[in-house]
Amino acid sequence: MGARFVTALIYLLAAFCLDYAVSTRRMVNESIYWDINTQKGIIRGQNLRLRKLNHPTNPYHTCYEVTCEGRQCIDHKDGTSTIQVCYPAVVITGLPKCGTSAMYELLAKFPGAITMSEKENCPSTRRRPHWIYFQSLPRMSAVGEHSIIIDGCISVINNMKIRELIHYPDTYYLVSILVLSRLYCSI
């Protein structure tokens, strides 16, 4: 059982690194909008339209204009709402009990750090719609020149799904895993 777990973990990390290396080479034209309307996390009758934005003073974040059209779009009475948000520059992820909370708390002390309202602001937490997730991200206007947005999400799978959905943001992922010798002792 232990060897299978380690093999699966190594495979997952290799896939994660490969995905990151490939995705950093992809280019998306910032003037192009794309729709998210038929996926898990989208309420039936709702459409999300996204467009990448360049932050005017902070090159460390990938920012987005997100428009919600249709059912359950909060903010406007006409059923349409648009927000400009920035995705975290650093996401701390990994296995439970591997120091992810300690790393998050350490980085949160950085001058200019912006943390989420909840430590684990995962895209698919509690099966909330993606629109609610985007609303939880800091607004582009709140991100200053020397700010850095830090998020923690223990779910590597959810992190990879949202990366693909929002066209591969420029984000550093700190992945925390157990040390192999400690892994064998704890099984």
Number of domains in the chain: 1
Comparison of pLDDT for 78 and 59, the residue scoring more: 59
Q: 22-29 long-range CB contacts below 8 Å, 24 or more apart?
A: 23/163, 23/168, 24/168, 24/170, 26/167, 26/168, 28/52, 28/167, 28/168
Could you give the CA distance from residue 143 to residue 161 in angstroms, rounded to a whole number?
24
**Which candidate, 84, 64, 87, places its Cα nearest to that of 148?**
87
> Is residue 181 very low, low, confident or very high in pLDDT (cuts 50, 70, 90)?
very low
62-97 pLDDT, tens digit each: 999 999 887 677 654 554 589 999 999 999 888 888
123-172 pLDDT, tens digit each: 766 677 788 888 889 999 999 999 999 998 877 787 788 888 888 898 88
Amino acid 186: pLDDT: 35
Q: What mean pLDDT comes out for the span 26-43?
A: 64
Comparison of pLDDT for 7 and 115, the residue scoring more: 115
- Please check the confidence at residue 7 and state whether its pLDDT lies above 60: no
Domain encompassing residue 132: 2-186
Amino acid 100: pLDDT: 85
User: What is the value of pTM for the model shown?
Assistant: 0.74
